[in-house]
Amino acid sequence: MSRRALTLIVAGFLTLTLAVGGAMLPVPYVVLSPGPTENTLGDIKGKPVINVQGRETFATTGTLSLVTVAYQGGPGNRIGLLTALRGWFDSTIAVVPEETIFPREQSVKEVEEQNTAEMAGSQDTATAAALNQLKVSIEDVVKVSSVDKGTPADGKLLPGDMIVAVDGTPTADPDSVVTAVQKHKPGDKIVFTVDGRSAKTDVPVVAAAAKDGKAVVGVRMGMSYKFPFKVDFSVGDVGGPSAGLMFSLGIYDKLTPGPLTGGKAIAGTGTMKPDGEVGPIGGIEQKMVGARKAGATIFLTPEQNCAAAVGAVPDGLRLVKVQTLDGAIKALDALRTGSGAVPACS
């Protein structure tokens, strides 16, 4: 073999090696793709996605599916350059900078915990919106969102506890709980009256000292709601607040006679406020693809997401613009009966 031929072979081998190595090189991007859909009127592993106890429910048909976005990559599990390049050429996939999903000031665990907390919050808010729509009275309460490990409240106050009083004085909001705690000195016993367990319970906690010397127990709180009956959710490994609209519609459908869907396969997305306002979400393109793959023909789209959705809607999927829960219900009524206006994204 001539020296020139040998040189070309070696150079080609090195080029190929570098190309393969470059393709495997981790890059700080995340691939977003269509995730699973779940019918809020159905079951997951034998458990109802929405389970109402203590109130009459009605049989229904069709689907009201929440949609999700799956991700690949992130700190500690970065994708290779080749995976990112493939994503850039696939219209159903988005490749975004890592910090879009995982802010630099947060760990992966913290992001996942935040998503879990947002999902739990969206379920409470969706329930409140549905019951407000049905004119069912609900009560605002202070709810424990998390308890710091190693603090006095650890193992005593629990996430989901509703703090209805401190030392016998009713609580109006989280600030009132903080004020009641800080009336004490470190080492004092503070009695929290909590609801949301099998029965209303008094829980004594001995306060510790914060860095500023004030009394602290190590509990984080937010405003939530006390409902006149129980609504449980089973959604598997899904996080974030974007299923709020579909949760509210699922609850409303179960609590009202007749199928809201008219038997149609409907999917949608949108955050939900207690007053019924629907808010925008991320990943609309991937969510539409997931909905269509699951058989949906109608997609409830937050008004603020319409512009992006119109340019990427899959064939066979009709976009219905929604601004409020009431508006979504009226649009579904119009679709079912064939009469009335159905707002469209344009």
Active site residues: 242, 287
Q: What is the DSSP letter of 157?
A: B
> Are residues 186 and 208 in contact, defined by beta-carbon separation less than 8 angstroms?
yes
CA 165 to chain centre: 29
The strand pairing partners of 67, in sequence order, are 37
* Composition of the chain by helix, strand, coil, percent to 5: 30, 30, 35
Q: What is the per-residue burial (b if ≥16 Cβ within 10 Å, else e) of 101-137? A: bbeeeeeeeebeeeeebbbbbbbbbbbbbbbbbeeee
Q: What is the DSSP letter of 181?
A: H
∠ CA 22-27-32, nearest 5°, is: 125
